[in-house]
Structure 1
Amino acid sequence: MAASTRTAPPPSREEFSARLLNGSARKSYAPVVDIDWDSPVVPDTFFLPPRMVSLYGTQMWQEMSREQQIELSRQEFINLLSAGVWFENILNQALLRGLMHADVTAASTHYSLTELGDETRHMVMFGRAIAAVHGKPFQPSRIQRMTINLLPLVFQKTVLWIAALVGEEIFDALQREILDDPDIQPIVRRVMRIHVTEEARHIQFARDGARRDVPTMKRRNRFLLATIHGAGGPFYRYLFTNRAVYRRVGLDGHEGRRQARANPYFHDTTRTGFAPLAAFLEEIGLMNRISRRMWTRSNFL
């Protein structure tokens, strides 16, 4: 009786990785052929749910024509995909550096390589999606490009898992909100569906790595990691209120950013996006007073 009620031990890292590999074998996509890239954009249709557009409900939004509102949703969709390409680039560089020191026979190594394949296909998918909606990507500045190329040098081991979650989970939560709206562009829903399905495994892999590694970290290193992820709050606020997005719609970039950052509807969106990750960081003991304040000041908490 005692043996039958005993809790089964959690899977090892290798067993967990093998499960993810099996999931990838059963359900993966090739966006080049799995998306109808020749399908035309549907007229008079939003690219993001209006409530998720940064200026929704503001004075500027009320003064915009419906065409401008749809165009703003298109530009914010393009901005989201452009940032996705940057994040995938950073993650791929970090994973490749880590693989130089990994056992090539291990299931965890094989899953890292599988994730690399997923991410490169996602970068192609994002680029083709921007082209399919007749958009122009938002390019990082020279300083931002230099930073993107430097970050993989420090994104290793536990830092990599947390950085991956900060880069993926917020987008994942927002994408799930987008999928719930049947009235947006079909190609947007298709891209989001593919990305959500495959990113779910990537998030599981990073969460499992963090759960195993954080308890063994030195106290000082754990404090530093629990602090520095708070920088994600100001960064995302900067990203989601990119002045160039508003300028492309014919709006004043500074005023657009000001109204977006004061917009309670937009605050609801950012808090919804951060909620799952915030709960996980609390669970593993990586949310301290400093990082919590940084996320709160950026309206993600």
Structure 2
Amino acid sequence: MTRADTRTQADEAAPDRQAVAQRLLDSSQTLSYDPATEVDWETPLDPSYHGASPEWSTLYGTSYWDDLTAEQQRELTRQEAASVASTGIWFEMILQQMVLRDFYAKDPTDPAFQWALTEIADECRHSIMFARGAAKLRAPAYRPRRFVVELGRAFKTVAAGEAAYAAILVAEEVLDVMQRDWMRDERVVPFVRTVNNIHVVEESRHMKFAREETRERLKGAGRLRKQINALVVAIASYFIVTSMVSKDVYANAGLDPKRAIREAKANEHHKSMMRSSCAGLMEFLDSAGLLTRASMWFYKRASLI
């Protein structure tokens, strides 16, 4: 392919990319939420509700779950929901830094540039919303292990192009499926359902952008580059997904941590839920050339495939 051919392809792709970004901007103006006013922060927590759909609990389907009282089951799902929210904050802060770095000093009149700033603004509101939600669920500040935090620090510093956007997509897609269940479930405390609804609606635009950016950055990429970035994305995905529910949730819910961790690790029901939630995501990664034999090892370890 000549340089002229490459420039022609880039010139043809730019209007399409700008059109997508403009549609996302228009959608954001039409349908966006202010969590400060949309979520009922004032009503005290009703402990008769779950924090998440019970079927998404890491212990659902185990003998330990059956041994728990209804009150313990509800408390566990509240702690797990708070842990997922805290992990979401951690990753959203990584996301914001990667997007800011990607669009640094680029054309501010480009709709893609303006959408990137809109997405960052959304993520700031989401992080505050998750933080307030976790506090209302009476949970501590759950954080990934120190080793994972430092890996995240390195990833946000060096990840670029398709590696950054595909990793963003993985985190958002996994959250999206489980939150769609939670927001419709009347067993879940109402304010959490509202939080999930806001996140699902606004993240659908973010996922669209991440998919488009991933495809765009992969144009003209060679086999070696795809192999390397497929592995980088898979490793990042593994640590993101396995950090969603902290091991500390069990003690904070009043459970026996050793037994809970042991049974959660062997819980085939939860693994099946995770795999089913990622079917569309894996199809996209495969179509983009980012699902390789080496990367599949990490996805299997995380029960994403």
TM-score normalised according to structure 2 size? 0.90
Q: Give distance in 2, aligned partners of 1:96 and 1:236.
A: 20
More displaced stretch, 138-147 vs 267-276: 138-147
Report Cα offsets for 1:118-146 as digits up to 9, x if no partner: 00000110111112222222134444433
2:4 aligns with: none
1:286 aligns with: 290
Q: Give distance in 1, aligned partners of 2:243 and 2:158.
A: 22
Q: Give distance in 2, aligned partners of 1:237 and 1:201.
A: 21
More displaced stretch, 81-90 vs 62-71: 62-71
1:182 aligns with: 186
CA positional deviation for 1:234: 3.7
Letter in 1 for 2:258: H
- Cα pair 1:169 1:274 within 8 Å, conserved: yes
Report Cα offsets for 1:164-205 as digits up to 9, x if no partner: 112211111111122232221101110000000000000000
TM-score normalised according to structure 1 size? 0.91
Structure 2 residue 137 is matched with structure 1 residue 130: no
Q: Give distance in 2, aligned partners of 1:142 and 1:236.
A: 13
- Cα pair 2:170 2:237 within 8 Å, conserved: no
1:97 aligns with: 101
- Cα pair 2:87 2:244 within 8 Å, conserved: no
- Cα pair 2:169 2:211 within 8 Å, conserved: yes
1:4 aligns with: none
CA positional deviation for 1:36: 1.6
Q: Give distance in 2, aligned partners of 1:92 and 1:233.
A: 17
Report Cα offsets for 1:61-96 as digits up to 9, x if no partner: 111111111111011001000000001100011111
Structure 1 residues 281 and 128 mapped into 2: Cα distance closer, same or farther (>3 Å)? same
- Cα pair 2:22 2:112 within 8 Å, conserved: yes
1:247 aligns with: 251
1:84 aligns with: 88
Q: Give distance in 1, aligned partners of 2:286 and 2:280.
A: 10
Question: Secondary structure at 1:209's aligned position in 2?
Answer: helix
Percent of pairs with identical residues: 34
Letter in 2 for 1:38: E
Report Cα offsets for 1:196-232 as digits up to 9, x if no partner: 0000000000101112222321321111112222224
Question: Secondary structure at 1:216's aligned position in 2?
Answer: coil
1:213 aligns with: 217
Letter in 1 for 2:138: H
CA RMSD of aligned residues (A): 1.8
Q: Give distance in 1, aligned partners of 2:57 and 2:83.
A: 12
Structure 2 gap segments, 5+ residues each: 1-11
More displaced stretch, 259-268 vs 130-139: 130-139
- Cα pair 1:54 1:240 within 8 Å, conserved: no
Report Cα offsets for 1:106-163 as digits up to 9, x if no partner: 1100000000000000011011111222222213444443333322222222221111
Moved segments of 4+, more than 6 Å: none
Q: Give distance in 1, aligned partners of 2:241 and 2:266.
A: 11
